[in-house]
Structure formats: structure tokens, C-alpha cells
């Protein structure tokens, strides 16, 4: 139920790191059995696991932190005030976001390798250039996440005081996420709280159609998800958004006709349109999404994202927001986080970073730019 029940492993070498990933995967597999069970009861869908039959491996995403105390919280939530819940659909988080978006776009249009098409895509691009967003980066590569966790030890800039400081205060950690299990949590949360349909659509006719279609005993998430190919069933908010644009003015009619997946529509409302929702123990967690490969950097990092909803401050006085070290909006503090998260502490970072370099990973692996490559050529192991 809390961060303490999340599986936590210590490693001192690359070999132990690989073993730890295997252990975490086993943990995710057994959690997946109970998740499927819950899903089947609710929707009649999902997959059937026989008592001795196991689900197949889920994809695992990785994220490295140089400090173990660093929370799984997106940058926009680290420094900004939580806007109050006041009935407006456009709140302070939107204002911050559009202000940043205007400045970023106006100054970087000419630098884009491929022009992003929507605000959501721009947000994904901004995330990869460290602008503040509601998204958090993950990697499909365990090696790259490890490199992020020990980035200061791989940094060729030996003279930088900042790099030296980071090396001295290093307590590296790699988070592991089962994106399927996280998205099922989002799905269950939406099914169990009809307020998400009501808040998404003020218009009665559409709301009625959504409620009728979404709440029937039917599975709208991932068909037989544990027995599908490895990457099947992962969601991409950007692609859903592009499809919505493609349908244009017929989109609403298609929803009314039940031609579209109501779950996808709700995802768009809460994660792309970012309708504010009150934060609380039963609030929607972030969703896991495949962002299109907009830039060389995203490709190199094997980048994928979790996107957070737009949380507004709750009216309940007993929920304190935010505490400095235990912000309840951090992913590891969500109810049921142990089902989709695991973590690996790197106990001997110097040794592991040395071994990681031997596998061919360096700073250019994270930032494939000529300037970084020039630095990597000069690298002397610390
Ligand atoms: Zn299953």
C-alpha cells in the first residue's frame, strides 16, 4: 500500500543487476495474475490464468535516478503550486503549460527534425529537452536507465564542480515499471468511479452514451493481454489524439454511435486535454504511453513516458499537500504501487559504472550529439 511494500533489491554488479530484473519480472508476472482476475470479474474480459499456468512476460520500463530519495514526480509538479479545484476546466497548470509551450515553440520551430503536430506532441518533445511538463521519462532499455542513474560517473567532464558534487552524493536507483499493469489501474479507477465520465462530458446525451457503453460488462482495455506479443496492448496517447483529429467533426457522432472505445476517449480527456481532477487516494494515477520518436535523442534513449493527470488541490482538509519528501502525487505513493513498480539500488556505483562502460554504454548513448561524442573520446575513468 505504501512505498515500503514495493519490492526493493540491492545490487553490486551488472550480473546482479540482470538477476534483479529477472526477479522483478517474476514479481510482475504474479501480480499480473491477480490484476487479470480483477479485470475479468469486472468486465468479463481479460485472460484466464490456470492455477499452474503463468502469464507471459509483460514489457518493463526503466528509469534511473542519481539519488534514491528522488521521487517519481514530473518536473511541473516539483516546483509549482497545486491549483485549487474551482470548477474551471482551465486552471493554473494549463496556464503554466501554455506559457512555456508558446515560448518553447516560438524559439525552436527551426530546430525540429520533424515538426510535432499537436500540443501533446510538443509537450512530449519539451519533456525530452528538460522543459517542465506533466510527463516523466522512462526507457525501454535497462542499460540506458542504469546510465542515467550513474550519469555523473559516465560524464567525461572531469573538471566540472557540478559533476564532482553529483558523484559525491550519489545513491543510484533504477525504477522498474510494468506499463500494462499501470494502465489497467487507470482503467479500473475510471470504471469504479463514474464521476470521471460525468466530469469529462457536461453534455447529457454524450455522457449517457459514454456511461452506457463504458460501464457494461465488457473489456475496453487489452484483449487477453498476458498472452499477446510482448509489446501488444501498450497505449499511445499521441496516436489516439491524432485519430481524434482525423475524425474531426464526426468524432462526437462516432462516440454517440458507440463506434469508438469509450476508455480511449476518457484517456484523451484526462491526459491530453488535461481536465483538472481533484487529487486524493482514489485519483487517477498517471498513464503509460508510447510517445512517437520525435528526435534522435528520444530514439537513443529508447524513450517512453508516463503522463500525469492535471491534479487540483482537494477540498478535504485531512489530506496534506504537498509534503516535501512524501508528496502523495509521486507514483510510488499511489495505492497498489507494488503491483506495477519495483526498484533496484546500485550499492557499488563505481564498479557497476565501470562494467556498464565495458558493455559500450557512454554519455553519447544518452545524448547522441557531436559535442558529447567529442567529450566521450577524452573520457578517463574516475
Ligand atoms: Zn492475464
Q: How is 28-71 classified by DSSP, letter by letter? A: HHHHHHHHHHHHHHHHS-S-PPPTT--PPPPP-EEEEESBTT--
Supply the pLDDT for residue 1: 42
Helices (H), 229-348: 237-247, 251-256, 262-267, 296-300, 337-340
* Extended strands (E) in 55-129: 61-65
Cell numbers linked to 343: 526498484
CA–centroid distance, residue 181 to ligand 1 (Å): 10
Residues with CB under 5 A from ligand 1 (ion): 36, 47, 55, 226
CA–centroid distance, residue 224 to ligand 1 (Å): 6
- CA dist 260 → 25, 248, 256, 299, 303 (Å): 33, 13, 9, 31, 28
Supply the pLDDT for residue 194: 86
Domain ranges of the chain: 3-377
Supply the pLDDT for residue 120: 85
CA–centroid distance, residue 223 to ligand 1 (Å): 9
Phi and psi at 38, nearest 5°, equal -60, -40
Supply the pLDDT for residue 342: 98
Supply the pLDDT for residue 219: 81
For the chain (length 382 residues), average pLDDT per consecutive 10?
78 98 93 86 77 78 96 84 75 83 86 84 83 92 97 86 91 96 92 90 92 87 73 84 95 94 96 90 90 88 94 67 69 92 97 95 93 87 74
Model's pTM, two decimal places? Answer: 0.91
Residue 112 to residue 335: CA distance in whole angstroms: 39
Supply the pLDDT for residue 51: 67
CA–centroid distance, residue 37 to ligand 1 (Å): 8
CB atoms within 10 A of CB 217: 9
Q: Which of 98, 114, 118, 116 is nearest to 245 (CA)?
A: 118
Phi and psi at 151, nearest 5°, equal -55, -40
Length of the chain: 382
Residue 259 to residue 261: CA distance in whole angstroms: 7
CA–centroid distance, residue 232 to ligand 1 (Å): 13
Amino acid at each position: 500500500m505504501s512505498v515500503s511494500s514495493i519490492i526493493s533489491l540491492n545490487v553490486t554488479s551488472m550480473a546482479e543487476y540482470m538477476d534483479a530484473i529477472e526477479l522483478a519480472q517474476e514479481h510482475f508476472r504474479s501480480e499480473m495474475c491477480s490484476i487479470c482476475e480483477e479485470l475479468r470479474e469486472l468486465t468479463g474480459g481479460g485472460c484466464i490464468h490456470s492455477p499452474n499456468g503463468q502469464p507471459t512476460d509483460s514489457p518493463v520500463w526503466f528509469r534511473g535516478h542519481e539519488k534514491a530519495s528522488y521521487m517519481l514526480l514530473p518536473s511541473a509538479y516539483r516546483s509549482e503550486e497545486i491549483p485549487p479545484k474551482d470548477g474551471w476546466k482551465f486552471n493554473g497548470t494549463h496556464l503554466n503549460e501554455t506559457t512555456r509551450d508558446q515560448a518553447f515553440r516560438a524559439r525552436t520551430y527551426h530546430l525540429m527534425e520533424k515538426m510535432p503536430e499537436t500540443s501533446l506532441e510538443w509537450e512530449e518533445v519539451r519533456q525530452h529537452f528538460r522543459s517542465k511538463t506533466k510527463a516523466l521519462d522512462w526507457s525501454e532499455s535497462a542499460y540506458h536507465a542504469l546510465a542515467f542513474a550513474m550519469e555523473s560517473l559516465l560524464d567525461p567532464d572531469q573538471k566540472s564542480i557540478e559533476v564532482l558534487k553529483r558523484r559525491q552524493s550519489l545513491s543510484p536507483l533504477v525504477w522498474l515499471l510494468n506499463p500494462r499493469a499501470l494502465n489497467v489501474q487507470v482503467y479500473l479507477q475510471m470504471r469504479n468511479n463514474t464521476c470521471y465520465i460525468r466530469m469529462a462530458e457536461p453534455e447529457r446525451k454524450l455522457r449517457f452514451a459514454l456511461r452506457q457503453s463504458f460501464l457494461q460488462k465488457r473489456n475496453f482495455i487489452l484483449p487477453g493481454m498476458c498472452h499477446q506479443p510482448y509489446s501488444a496492448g501498450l497505449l499511445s496517447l499521441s496516436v489516439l489524439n491524432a485519430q481524434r483529429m482525423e475524425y474531426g467533426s464526426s468524432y462526437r457522432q462516432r462516440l454517440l454511435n458507440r463506434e469508438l472505445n469509450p476508455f480511449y476517449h476518457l484517456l484523451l480527456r484526462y491526459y491530453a486535454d488535461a481536465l483538472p481532477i481533484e487529487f486524493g487516494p482514489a485519483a487517477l494515477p498517471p498513464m503509460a504511453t508510447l510517445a512517437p520518436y520525435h528526435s534522435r535523442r528520444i530514439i537513443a534513449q529508447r524513450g517512453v513516458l508516463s503522463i500525469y493527470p492535471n491534479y487540483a488541490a482537494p477540498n478535504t482538509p485531512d489530506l496534506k499537500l504537498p509534503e516535501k519528501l512524501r508528496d502523495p502525487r509521486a507514483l510510488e505513493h499511489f495505492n497498489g504501487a507494488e503491483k506495477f513498480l519495483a526498484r533496484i539500488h546500485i550499492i557499488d556505483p563505481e564498479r557497476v559504472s565501470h562494467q556498464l562502460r565495458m558493455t559500450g554504454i557512454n554519455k553519447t548513448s544518452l545524448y547522441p550529439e557531436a559535442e558529447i561524442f567529442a567529450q566521450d573520446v577524452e573520457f578517463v575513468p574516475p
